[in-house]
Chains A and B, each alone.
Chain A
Amino acid sequence: MSAESEDVPLYAERPEWSDVVPVPQYQGVDALAPINYSAEYQDATDYFRGIIRMGETSPRVLKLTRDIINMNPAHYSAWQYRYKTLIAIGADLTEELRQMDDFALTNMKTYQVWHHRRLLLTALRSRDAAAGELAFTARVLAADAKNYHTWSYRQWLLAHFNDEERLWAGERAWVEDLLEKDVRNNSAWHHRFFVVWSSGVREGDEDREAVGRRELAFAKEKIALAPNNPSAWNYLRGVLEHTKTPLSALTTFVQLYTVSSPSIAPEVMDLDNPVPTEGAQLPCVNALEFQADIYEQEGGTQITKAVEIWKSLANEYDTMRKKYWEYRIKEGLQTTHT
């Protein structure tokens, strides 16, 4: 307990709260997993129950709910009543967002923090506010680039306000920046998929074939930098599936990553098929899997080649998934024989 908080009197001791009748918590039968409340928490929640009974919505309720949330960020009833009060007294909701910024940064793993912002943004119906929130989530993600709640909230903002110029426009460049910092950040890869493929067509992205080429080139370039990165391979697969492109479109590229030692870099750089970075661990399991899938998709006699690769994965390169690769062998052979 910090010295500062010891100086703060309990609600029960404050004259300005003397009109509220505190309502203690129900005791009942022997409690299961009872929590050993601090005096401050018990006092504040007694007054909170009192306020709810009175139905009061006023500025002092904001102070009380804030105190409770500070002690217990998951207290969803305090969040609910706080929101109701903000609306009832016509509070400045943008100001509320700013008030909660630091709190959200230190409690970013608490669901209620983000749910509250979502309610505020829905009520504000303001694109300016939404743009401000994109900037705020960028700050939070700079501190924890994989925070699931923050990503969900950002995706909700974009889809809900759906403003090409104010919101979507900078999104791909921003997420590219994050991948620049950490090429293995799967949340960023997924977000890119969301922005480019699963949320409609962005302005300037109308030529879908060109977009497809651009995205494949992007993923290939990132794979060249760090070949054993399943996020980039999954993105590549996602793009092919989404654009209904056969896997074999990438045969030349993939073969650069299935060999045990790197091939000599060609004199003229082949931009479509960037070579693995120097010192990369080869062969790359994701590339072997991809190559086998190409063979399987081609069917016929190519299955034998797929089986060879699956065997090498089962017995040498990815032994943890031995049974999975053996299953692929069995399934692959079955399809050819029927």
Chain B
Amino acid sequence: MSESSSLPRLNRNGHAKLAQLCLSGLPFTQVDLDSSRLAIIFYCLGTLDLLGVLGTKILEAQRARWRDWIWEQQTHGNYGAGFRPSPYMTAEDHNSEREYTEYDGPHLIMTYTALMSLAILRDDFAKLNRAGILTFIRLCQQDDGSFSALPNGGEADLRTTYCAFVICSLLGDWSGMDLERAVAYIRRCSSEEGGYGQTPDGEALGGTTYCALASLKLAPATSTSHWELHNTSAERLRTIRWLTANQSSSGGFCGRTNKIADACYCFWCGASLSMLDAGEFVDTAALASFLGQCQFKFGGIAKAPGERADPYHTYLSLAALALFQSPNTDESWRLPRLDPLWNATLETACWAREHIPATKSNS
């Protein structure tokens, strides 16, 4: 009995439709996304990228309008430059020449999702305020090495650390952070179980373990490589042990020990294993079976079977499937290769790395 006999088709059209529907508008019941709209947009665009419909079904004129809107969120002022989540705090009489006000400034996580979204849309990044973004990151860094989402407040945890590392890495310029301090903060989030908590002293969690490992891997080699230094064989094995144990009997991964499986952790834990060169330990057939069951009948993928789909779980499920192609699946499950470190298709990651740095490699 093969897994494929019970495996449904991947509902590619349904998943693409959910992403397009969200991009065209959200109901008021989702008003809580107003202050993180660029993140939802990133998940929707990432979904369309993985499903290969951006170049075929979406007209260039449409993609250009999307890029224009994202660029409208880039803003500069007192704390440097970056992207705001949406114009939810922007006044009607605003014009882009003017500096932002105290409560309408850039947000670190949104700046990361904006850059990745623009790369998905193959922007040339001519309008990117690189120096302003470096200033912004510098002002977000706290004394303990962490980064707050806003220079004048907001959350600071491994998610914002990851965003700062990706941005500096993309810009090819680390002058915006105190790297040693940032790495020390990551180390303080390491938990006794082998994973990393969201903040120091926290319980090991799949998503923030991904953030920690990816950041260490992105860090430039200084006198010693942070990746080698902080991944001694014993520590690496401990992390691999915890990550593989998170694949539950349902085939999906849980984010913490003894929790039930959740589609998003198939990516966070799976990609973490890939970065540790341990991706082969994932049971890909069981993973596909679980995510197949998480498909919502009207399109999109939910966190667990029987739940409602959303852009976040849809994108991360597809990203997990792109990383871990199961041999027993039909052609509906074929997805382009994904880079676990950049959390983007190889082509998008390549575009970002080619177009975001200030000086192109060929100049």
- The one of A25, A52, A186 in contact with B259, judged by C-beta atoms closer than 8 angstroms, is A186
Does residue B228 face the partner (Cβ distance < 8 Å to A)? no
Measured between beta carbons, the chain A residues less than 8 angstroms from B242 are 234
**B59-92 Cβ-contact flags toward A at 8 Å (1 or 0):** 0000001101110100000000000001111111
Total A-B contacts with CB atoms under 8 angstroms apart: 183
Does residue A146 face the partner (Cβ distance < 8 Å to B)? yes
Q: Are B198 and A148 in contact (CB under 8 A)?
A: yes
Q: Which positions in A face B, CB cutoff 8 Å? A: 23-38, 41, 45, 49, 52-53, 71-77, 80-81, 110-111, 115, 146, 148, 151-152, 155-156, 159, 184-187, 189-191, 193-194, 197-199, 229-231, 234, 238, 241-242, 320-324, 327
Q: Are B33 and A327 in contact (CB under 8 A)?
A: no
Query: Distance (Å) between the CB of A42 and the closest chain B CB?
Result: 10
- The one of B35, B199, B258 in contact with A75, judged by C-beta atoms closer than 8 angstroms, is B35
If A32-B41, A33-B37 touch, whether A321 touches B69 (CB-CB below 8 Å) is no
Query: Distance (Å) between the CB of A238 and the closest chain B CB?
Result: 4
16 of the cross-chain contacts (CB-CB < 8 Å) are A26-B87, A31-B87, A33-B26, A49-B89, A77-B103, A146-B259, A152-B198, A155-B201, A187-B256, A189-B257, A238-B192, A323-B281, A324-B244, A324-B281, A327-B278, A327-B281
Measured between beta carbons, the chain B residues less than 8 angstroms from A111 are 155
Binds A, one of B10-18, B128-136, B175-183, B202-210: B202-210
Query: Distance (Å) between the CB of B245 and the closest chain A CB?
Result: 6
Measured between beta carbons, the chain B residues less than 8 angstroms from A159 are 201
Nearest A residue (CB) for B201: A155
User: Complex: how many Å from CA A15 to CA B121?
Assistant: 48
Q: Which positions in B face A, CB cutoff 8 Å? A: 22-28, 30-37, 40-41, 44, 65-66, 68-70, 72, 86-94, 101-104, 150, 152-155, 191-193, 197-199, 201-205, 240, 242, 244-245, 247, 249, 251, 256-259, 278, 280-281, 283, 286
Most buried by B among A111, A197, A324: A324
Q: Are B92 and A155 in contact (CB under 8 A)?
A: no
Q: Are A323 and B280 in contact (CB under 8 A)?
A: yes
Query: Distance (Å) between the CB of A303 and the closest chain B CB?
Result: 16
Q: Are B69 and A30 in contact (CB under 8 A)?
A: yes
Measured between beta carbons, the chain B residues less than 8 angstroms from A321 are 244-245, 247, 281, 283
Q: Are B258 and A186 in contact (CB under 8 A)?
A: yes
Measured between beta carbons, the chain A residues less than 8 angstroms from B91 are 23-26, 49, 53
Given A76-B150, A190-B202, 18 additional A-B pairs, CB 8 A:
A27-B87, A27-B92, A28-B72, A33-B37, A33-B41, A35-B33, A36-B25, A41-B28, A77-B88, A80-B152, A111-B155, A146-B256, A187-B256, A194-B201, A242-B192, A320-B251, A323-B281, A327-B278
Q: Are A151 and B28 in contact (CB under 8 A)?
A: no
Nearest B residue (CB) for A107: B32
Q: Are B192 and A197 in contact (CB under 8 A)?
A: yes
Measured between beta carbons, the chain A residues less than 8 angstroms from B44 are 33
Nearest B residue (CB) for A55: B102
Nearest B residue (CB) for A242: B192
If A53-B91, A115-B155 touch, whether A187 touches B244 (CB-CB below 8 Å) is no
Q: Are B202 and A72 in contact (CB under 8 A)?
A: no
Nearest A residue (CB) for B287: A320
Q: Are A72 and B205 in contact (CB under 8 A)?
A: no
Q: Are A38 and B28 in contact (CB under 8 A)?
A: yes
User: Complex: how many Å from CA A199 to CA B191?
Assistant: 12
User: Complex: how many Å from CA A194 to CA B27?
Assistant: 42
Query: Distance (Å) between the CB of A25 and the closest chain B CB?
Result: 6
Q: Are B101 and A52 in contact (CB under 8 A)?
A: yes
